[in-house]
Amino acid sequence: MHAKGEKTMDLIPSFSVDHTRIIPGIFTSRVDTLGDQKVTTYDVRVTRPNIEPAVDVAAMHSLEHIVATYLRNDPEWKDQIIYWGPMGCLTGFYLILKGNRAPEEIYGLVLRAFQSVEDSQDVPGASPENCGNYLMHNLGMAKWYARKFAAYLTENADRPEIFQYPQAQRLVTEDGRQFFDS
């Protein structure tokens, strides 16, 4: 029926995530190949989509600054970090790393990064010189979310569901294009 669409299906992943069954955790979103290098995008999902409230936008912004600063200064991992940033839905973050590791292998890094928020005296880069909306920060709320997520990761460390997304068929839009959110 859609011959062109079917050909494209062979080239890109045809499954996406069933957002009605997501629980917080660390998940592989996609693996890309650049030359002979693999690059992995992880979803660091902090809240349950559409079931609990999304993260407060100012807290999300502060977590973006604090965790990015932590990751890019970590002696062991800083050279592996390509990107850290918030999801538009405000339920989690994208983390892009060099290589292709299982989410279990970055559990310790993600846990330490969120635990570090507790020790932050201020939000790094919350100034007009360094940020596009420097007044939109909330360190207290950022600490609350980080503490909650770190406790969750610790309590659920042995559950495979915090590392494995529930899959669903990828949505095809009415005009025949495959849906992506990042």
Does 136 bind Zn ion (CB under 5 A)? Our answer is no
Judged by CB under 5 A, the stretch of 104-112, 126-134, 145-153, 169-177 that binds Zn ion is 126-134
Give the residue with the Cβ less far from Zn ion, 23 or 131: 131
- How many amino acids of this chain bind Zn ion (CB under 5 A)? 1
Cα Rg of the chain (Å, integer): 17
- 3-class state of residue 76 by DSSP: coil
Does 89 bind Zn ion (CB under 5 A)? Our answer is no
Contact present, 46 and 26 (Cβ < 8 Å) = no
Contact present, 23 and 161 (Cβ < 8 Å) = yes
Biggest CA–CA distance in the chain, Å, is 59
Separation between Cα atoms, residue 12 and residue 59, nearest integer Å: 34
Separation between Cα atoms, residue 37 and residue 82, nearest integer Å: 13
Count other Cβ atoms within 10 Å, centred on residue 82. Answer: 11
Residue numbers 6-35 binding Zn ion by CB under 5 A:
none
Cβ 133 to Zn ion, closest distance in Å?
6
Give the residue with the Cβ less far from Zn ion, 94 or 152: 94
Using CB under 5 A, which of 54, 89, 131, 172 touches Zn ion? 131
Give the residue with the Cβ less far from Zn ion, 45 or 65: 65
Give the residue with the Cβ less far from Zn ion, 40 or 64: 64
Find the residue with minimal CB distance to Zn ion. Answer: 131
Residues in contact with Zn ion by CB under 5 A are: 131
